């Protein structure tokens, strides 16, 4: 007789005359909890204790792996500094004291218990889950901070981040990931809008993208067509961006397993499906974005295309076939290029391309999850999410029938589209309300390097410093204050342009300043004279 696979089986139990269906894994967890509460002696159910230990190590490992995403984003962003470490520390403390309880505690809109983790048992599984979701929260915060650090004034930015972490982020997490959330299929009384977001398309990417988009609109400065600062790429910036992208890719293999928090039963197969789909989607997106960039040039198109594929597959993760994962990635690369050029047209682009990579492809990922996911894969992924076990809440994972568009039913597709719109509108509205007072007081916009005059070697800023470069081996430039035009200077011995500062900066005769003249030293003369 062939062995029976119980990983996808269901158990029907009569409770006071009412039939209740449980998945086999949830029923086994209920037996395990009942056994632990009534007996302290070892028995045949000790196998669950071993499984809990394995799951705790697995979840903690994924949480620590996600931290590589923060390192990669810091490599890719020119705004990373020591304050990023301070922001990360503040987020960890907020998660422990407030955010985790608001996100996963019992309640309809927000959690009302679990602050300082006091309502949960001191078990390794609970702490591992806290590490995992704190890492996810750090990813969202790092995206916003590193993108806006050079555009928004620091006091306004810190208040902006505080609101995101205390009110906006917990609401979205509670809705889609908490067992008490109205959009979670594990809810004992689920709504018709049970969204499918396995690895954080809405929680991380749509939330961060909408927050960055609102702040970018408030800090938008329009340059005349002939005065727009040129964007030049050095070999150093390309190397840093490439290293950062690879670190993000490595960290994403932990982020994709956010909803696969157990390795019991058939869950290793689910985890491997998610990893394979992630690699295929990222590869397809990077190639499509790089190909289109040959016709529509963009900076770091290959790297940003790869990250677009990572974002787009996050909602579906293991719920789609590899063929659909490739298709999702191909369209993600196309969407990135189109959205990136649109943001440049309206001068709303940013250093990390958060709007085209995370907002646009986060929305596309939610739509694709409703289009191409299969009901049996969704059920398998739901049974591998052990979040209810950690909170001692056992519900039926099969309470909501799932049907996607290509299966002849648009229920999941409609739910994901509506949920994505609700998240974007909610985050956008709250961020507008948060930024408006600072903007009204003219304290929202910070000093932007591309907009404020660069500093001279002496440390003073002004019209005299409105030209580059500043290294000793650079090409010397002249600058006319009257028409604000720069021209290359040809070294002339008769003009006595011997010092390094004079070789770099020289005012034209039509300016309000006279030419800088220095008595050449013997060492300076040796630069031009025999």
Query: For the domain that residue 261 is a member of, what is the CATH number?
Result: 1.10.3430.10
Query: Looking at residues 183-191, what average pLDDT do you find?
Result: 79
Asked if the model's pLDDT at residue 501 lies above 60, the reply is no
Query: Looking at residues 259-278, what average pLDDT do you find?
Result: 92
Picking from 54-68, 235-249, 295-309, 374-388, which range would have the lowest pLDDT averaged per residue? 374-388
Same-domain pairing of 468 and 431: no
pLDDT band at 191 (very low <50, low <70, confident <90, very high): confident
Whether 2 is covered by a domain: the verdict is no
- Class of residue 363 by CB neighbours under 10 A (exposed 0-12, middle 13-18, buried 19+): buried
Q: Which residue, 386, 405, 440, sits at the end of a domain?
A: 440
Q: What is the pLDDT of residue 221?
A: 64
Contact 280, 322 (CB under 8 A): yes
Per the structure, the complete domain to which residue 497 belongs is given by: 463-525
Instruction: Name the more confident of 503 and 17.
Output: 17
Picking from 32-46, 115-129, 257-271, 326-340, which range would have the lowest pLDDT averaged per residue? 32-46
Nearest to 382 by CA among 401, 397, 365: 397
Asked if the model's pLDDT at residue 42 lies above 60, the reply is no
Instruction: Name the more confident of 354 and 404.
Output: 354
Same-domain pairing of 16 and 135: no
Q: What is the pLDDT of residue 102?
A: 96
Same-domain pairing of 482 and 514: yes
Q: H-helix or E-strand containing 163?
A: helix 154-163
Same-domain pairing of 19 and 125: no
Same-domain pairing of 365 and 249: yes
pLDDT tens digits for range 52-65: 888 899 999 999 99
Nearest to 281 by CA among 339, 335, 330: 330
Q: What is the pLDDT of residue 392?
A: 43
Picking from 8-17, 157-166, 467-476, which range would have the lowest pLDDT averaged per residue? 467-476
Q: What is the pLDDT of residue 323?
A: 96
Query: Looking at residues 176-180, what average pLDDT do you find?
Result: 91
Q: What is the pLDDT of residue 120?
A: 84
pLDDT band at 485 (very low <50, low <70, confident <90, very high): very low
pLDDT tens digits for range 282-324: 999 999 999 999 999 998 999 999 999 999 999 999 999 999 9
Measured between alpha carbons, how far is 458 from 476 in angstroms, rounded to an integer? 17
Whether 449 is covered by a domain: the verdict is no
Whether 230 is covered by a domain: the verdict is no
Instruction: Please give, one letter per residue, the 3-state secondary structure of 63-122.
Output: HHHHHHHHHHHHHHCCCCCHHHHHHHHHHHHHHHHHHHHHHHCCCCCCCCCCHHHCCCCC
Q: What is the pLDDT of residue 125?
A: 85
pLDDT band at 33 (very low <50, low <70, confident <90, very high): low
**CA-to-CA separations, 304 to 115, 278, 290, in angstroms, rounded:** 37, 15, 9
Please provide the DSSP assignment of 308-372 as one string: HHHHHTTTTGGGS-HHHHHHHHHHHHHHHHHHHHHHHHTT---TT-HIIIIIIHHHHHHHHHHHH
Picking from 46-50, 344-348, 505-509, which range would have the lowest pLDDT averaged per residue? 505-509
Same-domain pairing of 428 and 471: no
pLDDT band at 119 (very low <50, low <70, confident <90, very high): confident
Q: H-helix or E-strand containing 480?
A: strand 477-480
- Class of residue 432 by CB neighbours under 10 A (exposed 0-12, middle 13-18, buried 19+): middle
Same-domain pairing of 474 and 401: no
Asked if the model's pLDDT at residue 67 lies above 80, the reply is yes
Q: Which residue, 381, 408, 440, sits at the end of a domain?
A: 440
Picking from 48-62, 85-99, 141-155, which range would have the lowest pLDDT averaged per residue? 48-62
Q: What is the pLDDT of residue 411?
A: 84
Same-domain pairing of 28 and 76: no
Q: Which residue, 379, 406, 440, sits at the end of a domain?
A: 440
Query: Looking at residues 46-55, what average pLDDT do you find?
Result: 71
Q: What percent of the chain has pLDDT over 70?
A: 67
Please give the angle made by the CA atoms of 422, 151 and 202, to the nearest 5 degrees.
20
Query: How far, rounded to the nearest angstrom, does the alpha carbon of residue 451 sit from its chain's CA centroid?
Result: 26
Q: What is the DSSP letter of 395?
A: -
Contact 171, 335 (CB under 8 A): no
Query: Looking at residues 243-254, what average pLDDT do you find?
Result: 96
Same-domain pairing of 484 and 387: no
Same-domain pairing of 252 and 370: yes
Whether 455 is covered by a domain: the verdict is no
Q: What is the pLDDT of residue 482?
A: 47
Asked if the model's pLDDT at residue 463 lies above 90, the reply is no
Asked if the model's pLDDT at residue 261 lies above 80, the reply is yes
Measured between alpha carbons, how far is 81 from 85 in angstroms, rounded to an integer? 8
Same-domain pairing of 253 and 379: yes
- Contacts of residue 516, defined as CB under 8 A and 6 or more positions apart, other chains included, come to 501, 502, 505, 506, 507
Nearest to 171 by CA among 441, 431, 395, 500: 431
Same-domain pairing of 369 and 344: yes
Picking from 155-159, 193-197, 229-233, 288-292, which range would have the lowest pLDDT averaged per residue? 229-233
Query: Looking at residues 199-228, what average pLDDT do you find?
Result: 83
Whether 456 is covered by a domain: the verdict is no
Asked if the model's pLDDT at residue 72 lies above 90, the reply is yes
Whether 458 is covered by a domain: the verdict is no
Helix or strand or coil: residue 46?
helix
The total of structural domains in the chain comes to: 3
Whether 225 is covered by a domain: the verdict is no
Asked if the model's pLDDT at residue 394 lies above 70, the reply is no
Picking from 75-84, 106-115, 330-339, which range would have the lowest pLDDT averaged per residue? 75-84
Query: Looking at residues 127-141, what average pLDDT do you find?
Result: 95
Whether 457 is covered by a domain: the verdict is no
């Amino acid at each position: 007789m062939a062995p029976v696979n119980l990983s996808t089986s269901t158990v029907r139990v009569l409770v006071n005359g009412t039939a209740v269906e449980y998945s086999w894994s949830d029923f086994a967890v209920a037996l395990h909890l009942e056994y632990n509460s009534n007996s302290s002696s070892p028995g045949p159910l000790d196998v669950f204790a071993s499984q809990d230990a394995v799951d705790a190590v697995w979840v903690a490992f994924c949480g620590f792996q996600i931290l590589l995403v923060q390192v990669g984003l810091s490599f890719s962003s020119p705004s990373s500094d020591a304050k990023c470490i301070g922001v990360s520390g503040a987020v960890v403390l907020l998660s422990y004291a407030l955010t985790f309880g608001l996100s996963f505690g019992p309640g309809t809109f927000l959690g009302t218990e679990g602050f300082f983790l006091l309502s949960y048992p001191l078990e390794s599984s609970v702490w591992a889950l806290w590490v995992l979701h704190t890492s996810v929260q750090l990813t969202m915060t790092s995206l916003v901070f590193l993108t806006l650090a050079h555009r928004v004034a620091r006091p306004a930015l810190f208040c902006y981040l505080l609101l995101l972490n205390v009110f906006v982020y917990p609401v979205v997490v509670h809705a889609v990931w908490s067992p008490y959330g109205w959009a979670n299929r594990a809810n004992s009384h689920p709504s018709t809008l049970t969204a499918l977001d396995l690895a954080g398309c809405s929680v991380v990417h749509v939330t961060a993208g909408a927050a960055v988009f609102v702040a970018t609109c408030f800090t938008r400065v329009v340059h005349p067509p002939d005065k727009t600062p040129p964007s030049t790429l050095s070999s150093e910036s390309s190397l840093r961006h490439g290293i950062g992208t690879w670190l993000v890719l490595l960290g994403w293999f932990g982020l994709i397993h956010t909803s696969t928090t157990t390795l019991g039963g058939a869950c290793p197969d689910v985890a491997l499906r998610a990893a394979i789909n992630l690699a295929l989607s990222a590869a397809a997106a990077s190639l499509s974005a790089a190909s289109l960039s040959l016709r529509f040039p963009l900076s770091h198109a290959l790297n940003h295309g790869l990250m677009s594929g990572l974002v787009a597959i996050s909602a579906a993760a293991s719920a789609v076939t590899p063929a659909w994962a490739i298709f999702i990635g191909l369209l993600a690369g196309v969407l990135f290029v189109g959205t990136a050029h649109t943001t440049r047209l309206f001068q709303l682009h940013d250093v990390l391309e958060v709007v085209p990579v995370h907002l646009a492809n986060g929305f596309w990922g939610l739509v694709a999850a409703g289009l191409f996911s299969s009901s049996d894969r969704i059920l398998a992924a739901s049974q591998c999410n052990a979040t209810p076990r950690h909170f001692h809440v056992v519900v039926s994972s099969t309470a909501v029938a799932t049907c996607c568009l290509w299966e002849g039913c648009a229920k999941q597709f409609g739910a994901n589209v509506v949920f994505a719109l609700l998240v974007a509108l909610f985050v956008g509205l709250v961020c507008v309300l948060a930024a408006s007072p600072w903007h009204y007081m003219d304290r929202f916009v910070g000093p932007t390097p591309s907009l404020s005059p660069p500093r001279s070697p002496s440390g003073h800023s002004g019209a005299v410093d409105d030209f580059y470069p500043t290294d000793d081996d650079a090409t010397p430039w002249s600058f006319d204050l009257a028409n604000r035009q720069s021209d290359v200077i040809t070294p002339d011995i008769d003009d006595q342009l011997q010092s390094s500062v004079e070789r770099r900066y020289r005012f034209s005769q039509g300016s309000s300043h006279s030419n800088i003249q220095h008595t050449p030293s013997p060492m300076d003369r040796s630069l031009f004279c025999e």
